Amino acid sequence: MPKISIITTTYKHEKFVRDTIESVLAQTFTDWELLIGDDNSPDKTYEIVLEYAKKDSRIKVWKNPTNLWIVGNMNLLLSQISPESKYITFLEGDDMYTPENLEEKMKILGNDTTLVGVISHVSKINAQWEMVNVSQAKIQGKVRYSLIDFLKLGNPIQSFGAVIFKKSLLEKYIPFILPSWEKNPMFWPLDYWLWTNIIPNNDIYFSSNPYFLYRVHPNNFVKNVSTMNNQLETIYQSIISKNTDISVHEICHRFIIFNRFISDFFDWKRLRVFISFFTLIHKYPPWLVDKNIMGVFILNFLPKSFQNYILHK
């Protein structure tokens, strides 16, 4: 009877998925099930995960006959969670856990029954296992946020894999995750949508320890920034439609303008970046000192080759 269900979506992860599965097998907490959904990868990803499933009954594998994409693949796996499972966590097919990840998070949850979940910080590594950086713990300990306070944080949760939540809480959104986005199977910010529904008004613990290893490589970067920001705008518009709080409306509108500003930059629309910048600082003067806005504005005047160099660094 698994206590934790680990949800793993894979696509073209043959270079990394062995490390991913081995990191689960290395967990000091062993009462888990690993549910892997391969989204019809054209490489050997499915053969690799099937090899592990044949050796360990805790690992269950599905290969989609056609691409279900992010939302469909996630929904498939969430529908297969064992009824006995008490907690749900995530692990993409190119990322990893540190060996103590599950055990330490379960200790935290066991010591405080009011908690609905634990979120750890993240270490980033590249394809060669070299450390890129370790996230700085801006939030530590037990917290409870209102929606407006959580929105003000941007998104302090750096990856799906950094979280573990009580299944009873997630069941409010399953089946299935993101039902309103089903017509868009490539809905990238599905995790942020989930957090804006779950975290406000629930007790969450933020651990300062980086128990999760996020793999940075060219294939995991969302290349179409405009599409991502358009999808984020859909989330903000949804939040606005469901809330009467003027403060919530204000910050959502601010993020919408900011995301359009970023999209124009990545779409190489220099004049629109210039216009958006002055719209932002006129409507929201405190953002004048925001390093992200100022950084993008300065980069906008540099050659594209130099921009790409800075962004990839």
Cα separation, 24 vs 46, whole angstroms = 17
The pLDDT assigned to 71 comes to 81
Q: Are residues 185 and 253 in the same domain?
A: no
Question: What are the CA-CA distances from residue 148 to residues 230, 244, 247, 307 (Å)?
Answer: 21, 12, 7, 33
Contacts (Cβ under 8 Å, ≥6 apart) of 164: 4, 87, 88, 89, 102, 105, 106, 109, 117, 118
Cα separation, 114 vs 110, whole angstroms = 10
Among the three residues 163, 190, 220, which one is the final residue of a domain in this structure?
Answer: 220
| 84 pLDDT tier (thresholds 50, 70, 90) | very high
Q: Which domain holds residue 63?
A: 4-220
CATH code of the domain containing 176: 3.90.550.10
The pLDDT assigned to 12 comes to 92
Q: Are residues 42 and 121 in the same domain?
A: yes
The pLDDT assigned to 260 comes to 82
Among the three residues 220, 253, 285, which one is the final residue of a domain in this structure?
Answer: 220
Q: Are residues 162 and 42 in the same domain?
A: yes
Average pLDDT value over all residues in the chain: 83
Above 50 in pLDDT, residue 175? no
Task: Give 27 or 272, the one with higher predicted confidence.
Answer: 27
Among the three residues 220, 247, 270, which one is the final residue of a domain in this structure?
Answer: 220
Q: Are residues 182 and 307 in the same domain?
A: no
Above 70 in pLDDT, residue 192? yes
Residue with tokens 């921009």: 307
Q: Are residues 167 and 263 in the same domain?
A: no
Q: Are residues 50 and 109 in the same domain?
A: yes
Structural domain count of the chain: 2
Above 50 in pLDDT, residue 176? no
Give the type of residue at 22.
E
Q: Are residues 159 and 279 in the same domain?
A: no
The pLDDT assigned to 174 comes to 57
Q: Are residues 103 and 229 in the same domain?
A: no
Q: Are residues 180 and 308 in the same domain?
A: no
Say what the pTM is.
0.84
Q: Which candidate, 145, 147, 177, 175, places its Cα nearest to that of 160?
A: 177
Q: Are residues 101 and 125 in the same domain?
A: yes
Q: Are residues 59 and 15 in the same domain?
A: yes
Total residue length of the chain: 313
Question: Model confidence over 273-287: pLDDT tens digits?
Answer: 777 777 777 776 654
Q: Are residues 18 and 166 in the same domain?
A: yes
